[in-house]
Structure 1
């Protein structure tokens, strides 16, 4: 029984370590791509013979979490080193980060052919970001393949090449002391198709032969429209005057017909 328990613990540890490595961005040792000098990143190999490395922050910068931007290390870091009574160094961590208040500015729905949109992070105080660097990370939770973004690490998410469907994002904003998350949903609706006129279909088809003094029924329920038929209107263009029933229904009934030629539309 203890052997089985040990095996499970080992598997969990390996899986956890694998997930941590997947979250780091891989790079080409020779070209340094996709690491960005402007974002204070460098491509660092894990072994001397490796051709593939990992994007790491340069000296003096650090990430708040995997995928976040590299920020300058502050004098007052989250960890303070001290010395215990036996002379060994020990580390004590500070309290959890305070909640960061912000909102998201952008439409909840757009309709094609509009194929681009911008979503902005907005702070309650317009001066909040000044003098205190923030990192931004937008994560797509739903809607893979429905939009394209040039960067997911900026305060403004610019989406283009939109396709019909629903998208859901989660944005994390943080610095050394504060952190917050918000979700944003966007519905991309299909383009409107130009409305076409309905096509009237009358049964029985013209010409219709009747017998004097009998009843004749004209049926237009088979008429079609690309959206929805909202009204009917019958008009007598030619023929003897006879009592007519309701002229605004799909079925027109003619009673006590007299001899002659009738034209209805």
Structure 2
């Protein structure tokens, strides 16, 4: 019906203007049925992002309806080209390929009755040239051995952490020992293990999509273990993969009994493989007054396990040493931390008698000059004694050859005299009228001790015996 009252017409116009103002805030509502209040789309406030941005999350999960929302639809109303929307029919969508510029997104929701509602979101992405990524490397850390592992957690500001490349760099003056786990040197968090005593410096470098980078430094100080210098290394003939927990505990009990301490006083520091056939057990012993001397422990264990009771432990012992080289080297050398042996200063050498016949400790007690002189004197002395001995033996043999021996020959017939007559032109006294004959071996220049008849040896011996009995004291 026509409206004739101007005042009433004015009220209608005001109501229409209010309705149009609600439309201008980018929401529209359709009502189906008198009892359905319709859905409400919620996309959150407008946003401003900084490059680089790899992706943008559009969250419409705050939308609501009295009977439940059955559909979502995200769409890019405006913005630079190259944008891609994933999961556009879900409450949360993902926009990728974001560039610098201004983006407008619209979410439309619908309920079971077909009622719909829409909401818009504006995202501003300024140019990224004015932003530098700022790295954070978590500052300084300190560890006390035997704790030798750590996690350095890095982060970045003024950049999207998911779009930044991380790189951890160890300083060249840091200890080389220590492992980086899981390839984490290109991740925000750096996982470290097997660190050793010393100071480590790690530089975290972050680079954004535009190639701009920032860096920060983390410091890790690894302190020595209290009493760690009194640790003992025991190398056993068994692969580390074959040592069970029960076997390790058995070895610990055996060692405690050998040293005469309680099992709780012996602390195992490490059990690790030395080679494919040997295992190293590192331990220390604490008494009532503190850690026991590693040097004394090594001396006791060497004498017991390597010589007297070589089969005492569950596994055969190959070597017993201190973890740190504690040898004084007689004040004339330095102890090699790897071989645990003394490297002597120039003109000094090891006392071999003490090393191999004494306590077996490496040392630098002998001066090289004295060793050379002593060796020369010993060689001369040995040669002199040998020459003297040879000369004495030759002199005794010469005297034995010149000694004159006589043999009494009696009642010899003519044939025997002819046979015993010397072949040389030596004049002898006549033996025809003598009842006995004495002949000298020296005169005959013979090497034989006694002259016998070659034809009748038995009769000659009888004649010699009869002549000796008849002559009586002829030799007196």
Scaled to the shorter chain, the TM-score interval is: 0.3 to 0.5
Q: Under a length normalisation based on structure 1, what TM-score does the superposition of the two structures give?
A: 0.34
* Structure with more strand by fraction: 1
- Of structures 1 and 2, the one scoring higher in RCO (CA 8 A, sep 6+) is 1
* Structure with more helix by fraction: 2
Structure number with larger C-alpha Rg: 2
Q: Under a length normalisation based on structure 2, what TM-score does the superposition of the two structures give?
A: 0.20
